[in-house]
Chain A
């Protein structure tokens, strides 16, 4: 019989197969080909950098008020505007551009701290439920369903009333609420991972439960965890803005975008840009986070395929 490995048949193997790229360069190419990931990441990096170097970037102190320079129009509204206040000033004469830049800081701070808290809670619950199953799973499921039944926004408002309105309270309340997706996703992924052969093998050779969870299951779920984190981060930022807008969130004079919308509301007829600008900031930030998350999901899903 002819040894097949010695007679590679030309024409039955395509150029594609011969020039098979390495997995790493494949992944890189997929990332660069994924427009939503690239656009999302680009906007996100710009906003992140702005927030980090806010003191260098902002032309003014966002808290410094000057009642003689109230409600100056932004540059496109009127040609006479000083270069000093490019985007105008608010109702008590604070530089709007500086407040917008510092507002990014607040939104990102809220977003990151919230997912830190909710991520820990949700992951702990989800992994526990998924790994142990049975009664533990039933209990966790009940907790998740109870949490879903709570009208988040209303209860968050009530909690802010109860504990006083401040940045810390808002972060804590949102963190204690927005863990449901983490728990649901982690639970199902852990359940699948638990049945993977190498996890079974780890258990068979007597690895301890925490060891299995941290060493064998966790690396598996990292990409899903990141995707969920982007969803919840966007969610937290929007909720904070809405809470602050209604006066149940961050308090003056903090430059939160939601609060700026609240303060600008009474001037919406004559100075609509007071509303347009912080909203654009929110929109862009959330859009970037969503695009980043969507792209990440597509890239990692493709890899698993």
Chain B
């Protein structure tokens, strides 16, 4: 990786707050990350840790009652925090595109594939219908849909889930975006299809030289495609760093707990029980008090009643937020 990376998105201290009857819900409590062109950032965490809301916050698609705040959200060297809805709409679909979790319901059932593919091109690039159609056919080919031209006239219900997700990917690429955000793009698909779609995404990302943020709970996916990993827990980043570093030497007890949950070929003996992380994600209402993971952490002590002021930084951008020293963490991992 070159030293001067072309940073596409740089987020500092992003927060999402939702007022609810019981008080203020803080699903995202201040996370920071950046992603460069040609780079894949994976945001990992359990359901409810705030990763999906993070992606919606970046796109400006949060539910009406949710409030977004951040020190900065620089996208292509422009802070998009104060953009009006109309200006945001000019970025969405063109410069930043999103792929959603549910291919079965994310396409409008009333319109043909071609209509839904072409409309985004017609809106943002040019009103030349022939051009839009050409682009649609080209991209359907790119995402591995055979006989693209005959698919164009079909309605979403005539396609399988895997095909629909391919269409969604083609749709995201219609205007050649700089950033693509994929929120659990393979969760709703069959295991065999999952691998294909993932492979396709990685290939296209390199092909189109985009920055990609992949949001998932599946560490297996992360290991295969990520350049950088960001592990989220209860709205906070607990550990981040280059993919190999995080996988080889997980420093936060939560990360190591997650890693123990996945079988490793050759290492996990048949019949050997996989690890679990007991307990559930805590309630996210109210202010933070100490480490949110401590009621599930086997190493928790009294010092965990308060959080460290900052993340512990290691070489190579690897960082974690835990009272335990890196030595202690690695040691207990071995124990």
Contacts and interface: CB of A to CB of B under 8 A. Distances in A.
A9 B22 contact: no
Interface string A1-19: 1101001011111111100
Contact of B295 (A4, A15, A16, A17): A4
Interface size bracket, A side: 10 to 19
Contact of B283 (A1, A4, A7, A12): A12
B333 interface: no
Interface size bracket, B side: 10 to 19
A12 B22 contact: no
A16 to B, nearest CB: 4
Given A2-B300, A4-B279, A4-B295, A11 B289 contact: yes
Q: Which secondary structure characterizes the binding site on chain A? A: loop
Q: Which secondary structure characterizes the binding site on chain B? A: loop
Given A2-B300, A4-B295, A9-B295, A16 B22 contact: yes
Contact of A11 (B21, B286, B298): B286
B298 A12 contact: no
Nearest to A1: B298
Interface in A1-40: 1-2, 4, 7, 9-17
Contacts of A16: 21-23
B135 interface: no
Nearest to A13: B283
Interface in B271-314: 278-279, 282-283, 285-290, 292, 294-296, 298, 300
Nearest to B301: A2
B22 A14 contact: yes
Given A2-B300, A14-B23, A16-B22, A9 B294 contact: yes
Nearest to B283: A12
B112 to A, nearest CB: 34
Given A4-B295, A7-B295, A12 B282 contact: yes
A203 to B, nearest CB: 35
Contact of B287 (A2, A11, A17): A11
Contacts of B282: 9, 12
15 contacts: A1-B298, A2-B300, A4-B278, A4-B295, A7-B295, A9-B282, A9-B289, A9-B290, A10-B289, A11-B287, A11-B290, A13-B283, A14-B22, A14-B285, A14-B286
Interface of B: 21-23, 278-279, 282-283, 285-290, 292, 294-296, 298, 300
